[in-house]
Amino acid sequence: MTRLVAPAKLTTALGVVGRREDGYHLLEAEMVSLDLADELELAEGEEGSEVRDLVDWAGLPGTAPSEEAGLIAANLVGRALELCGRQARWRLDKHIPAGAGLGGGSSDAAAVLRWAGVEDLSVAAALGADVPFCLVGGRARVSGIGEVVEPLADGGDSAFLLVTPRVHVSTLVVYRAFDELGGPRGEHGNDLEPAALAAYPGLRWWRDLLGAASGSRPRLAGSGGTWFVEGEAGALGELAAGVRGEIVSGRESAFVTVARRAGPSTGQPAQP
């Protein structure tokens, strides 16, 4: 079998700058790949599929893998194979939480496109707005509805502490809230943050938890629900241990990890 790596993406800045007649929102964003990644194994010409939820949750004992998350992942991998005109038996090991704003499903689809030798971003865009960036990877400015990707210098070797509550945040629901609120502007680099907080009020608790622990104002990843702070990997590792302790003592459940920038389409740490 062929083993593929599907790196998570982190949206570090996001502005909503308009809306097309077909309802799609126009964005100006900055995204980076992370060394947090799903793993996909393919056996070409065979049949069958499997999704394994291996997300390392902290706090309360994990529940059964989300059927919805499994269906979304399977659908995206299957659609990518169909789009490429390829058939394969595959197994997907999920390390990226679903509904976290980290592009797990999009990166899984992009990994299939890379395997099949597809480089056309318009083909990637047919699978979802985040798939073009995930196909390119690294660090980039993203615009349009996600189909315009302009690579940027890697931006250094800083790391990110990610805290994702066990809440599946729907991008569709957040955009609907954004429109209902009249298109608010986010004060912390993400125009979707006010809408995400309106649609999922419980996200505030996690923002405040990470803010109190880190002494800095966390930012929301894309449409949510991951909060993150940026810093030096060693210091963030110590901070992550403290946050996990807070989660356990509060009888909550979340995904907590320190991730570093990854190079284009590799899932490996970027070189400073």
Any bridge partners for residue 258, and if so which?
Answer: 161
Angle at 158 between CA 153 and CA 164, to 5 degrees: 110
Active site residue 94: no
Using CA atoms, how far residue 272 sits from 155, 158, 262, 269, in Å, is 8, 9, 11, 9
3-state DSSP of 127-162: CCCCHHHHHHCCEEEEEECCCEEEECCCCCCCEEEE
Q: Which of 9, 35, 94, 108 is catalytic?
A: 9
Task: Determine the Cα–Cα distance for residues 121 and 214; give it in Å rounded to an integer.
Answer: 38
Residue 65 DSSP class: P
Using CA atoms, how far residue 132 sits from 87, 111, 143, in Å, is 22, 11, 11
Phi and psi at 238, nearest 5°, equal: -65, -40
Active site residue 130: yes
Q: Which of 35, 53, 108, 130 is catalytic?
A: 130
- Specify whether the backbone of 96 is left (phi greater than 0), alpha (psi in -120 to 50) or beta: beta
Query: Catalytic site residues?
Result: 9, 130
